[in-house]
Amino acid sequence: MAGNQGNYREKPTRNEKNYKKANGQPRLKEKSSRAKSDNVCPYAKKCGGCDYQGVEYKEQLKTKQAYMKKLLKPFCFVEPIVGMKNPLYYRHKVHAAFDCTRRGQIVAGAYRKNTHDVVDIESCMIEEQESDEIIRDIKDMLRSFRIKTYDEDTGYGLLRHVLVRKGYATGQIMVVLVLASPILPSKNNFVKALRKKHPNITTVVLNVNDKKTSMVLGDRNITLYGKGFIEDKLCGCTFRISPSSFYQVNPVQTELLYEKAIHEAHLTGKERVIDAYCGTGTIGIIAAKNAGEVIGVELNRDAIRDAVTNAKRNDIRNIRFYNDDAGKFMVEMAQKGEKADVVIMDPPRTGSDEAFLSSVVKLSPERVVYVSCGPETLARDLKYLTKHGYTVKRATPYDCFPYTEHIETVVLLCR
């Protein structure tokens, strides 16, 4: 998933020998399943979702820790990886693709790795259980409501995907039906029947995706029941989650991750903080409680709209949001002679780019807190920042996606 990165060579430790790299991420060799897990998924060899199926969780953490230690050795000390007490059923955003086999069997689940063939999954060991039950019941309801699944090859059919999001703290549930048309036959009866099975459902949204595309969601949402969004709490703040909102899927680990990021910022109530790649404003809004001023910058207009709503919802008055490219925005700040004490950056898995990193250098904050979801691109970006006057103090990995190769990391840099 991550970009390319030069090799840092050293004698491998015992745990480092247990992985091989795939697309820049740590992958356990099959022979290393000496510590086998009792949690063996029946879909492990069909579904492409989990890379570490059948491997004991402690072994997964050791492998990820060794990988990060080796990757970041040129820069800093790597603190012990923060794992989960219970690494199962952690995904509170559950997506299922729908299809129909040649024999007419309706299937719903994940795509087989590197294909668009749908693997029929009754329940997933890393997905929130009630969300899986809702998807399973929707699949069972389709025939009685004469709803056909969408065929990607012919463009015929209606139901493409179902997305279920559940608030960890609030328990609120949003069901998103992704259709190829804005018309759902007997929609009121369908929603009524679904809510009879699952009365905890807070809202049902019809998302229209009428394009021949691999994108899951379309641009248009029609609320069939409820408010069209749910809310959840994170680090003492309340956040609105709409169908297309970016919101971390593992709330337990996300809270720890964000608390660490804000702790590393060393806020005293006086600092000017820039929340770059701010998305819907989660980190910035949480940080604002301990900062003098927060500026959130995000290129996605819908995300900024949600960020403004979230700030108002939490009565946060010392934060401003700008719909702009963060790098360009910070260069203009530097040209005007403006300063920032802290930059918190949370880029996508592809990492940042040189234009953005050079803008950080120009603005010259005392501290940079880098929240990474791509280890290899993190190392690449740290190489640039350390060449331009910053020192990496420490890195703390977080296992937000057990049974997969992905690793999140909080890194503190100081000038």
Neighbours of 406 (CB within 10 A): 19
- Catalytic residue list contains 373: yes
Distance of CA 150 to the CA centre of its chain: 26
Output the domain CATH number for residue 316.
Answer: 3.40.50.150
Cα(320)–Cα(330) distance, rounded to whole angstroms? 14
Structural domain boundaries enclosing 143: 93-232
Question: Is 84 within the bounds of a domain?
Answer: no
Q: Write the DSSP assignment of 194-231 as a string of letters.
A: HHHH-TTEEEEEEEE--SSSS-S--SEEEEEETTS-EE
pLDDT value of position 24: 54
Are residues 277 and 161 part of one domain?
no
- Report CA dihedral (371, 351, 86, 39) to the nearest 10 degrees: -170
pLDDT score of 16 more than 50: no
Are residues 390 and 266 part of one domain?
yes
pLDDT score of 349 more than 90: no
pLDDT value of position 239: 96
Cα(257)–Cα(372) distance, rounded to whole angstroms? 10
Ligand-binding site membership of 298 (annotated): yes
**Residues in Cβ contact with 58 at an 8 Å cutoff, skipping those fewer than 6 apart:** 35
Q: Which of 243, 125, 120, 141 is nearest to 197 (CA)?
A: 141
pLDDT value of position 402: 97
- Sheet containing 159-166: order of strands: 118-120, 106-111, 93-100, 159-166, 173-179, 201-208, 220-225
Are residues 200 and 256 part of one domain?
no
pLDDT tens digits, residue range 177-201?
999 999 999 999 999 999 999 999 9
pLDDT score of 42 more than 80: yes
Mean pLDDT to the nearest integer, 203-209: 98
Ligand-binding site membership of 248 (annotated): yes
What's the pTM? Answer: 0.89
pLDDT score of 323 more than 70: yes
pLDDT tens digits, residue range 211-258?
988 889 999 999 999 999 999 999 999 999 999 888 899 999 999 999
Phi, psi (5° rounding) for residue 36?
-80, 145
pLDDT value of position 27: 59
Q: Which of 205, 232, 259 delimits the end of a domain?
A: 232
Ligand-binding site membership of 277 (annotated): yes
Distance of CA 77 to the CA centre of its chain: 26
- Label residue 9 by pLDDT band (50, 70, 90): very low
pLDDT tens digits, residue range 86-105?
999 999 999 999 999 999 99
Residue tagged active-site, from 100, 373, 400, 414: 373
If one counts the domains in the chain, the total is 2
pLDDT value of position 18: 46
Residue carrying structure tokens 């890379």? 51
Are residues 278 and 223 part of one domain?
no
pLDDT value of position 36: 61
The helices-and-strands tally (H runs, E runs) of the chain is 9, 19
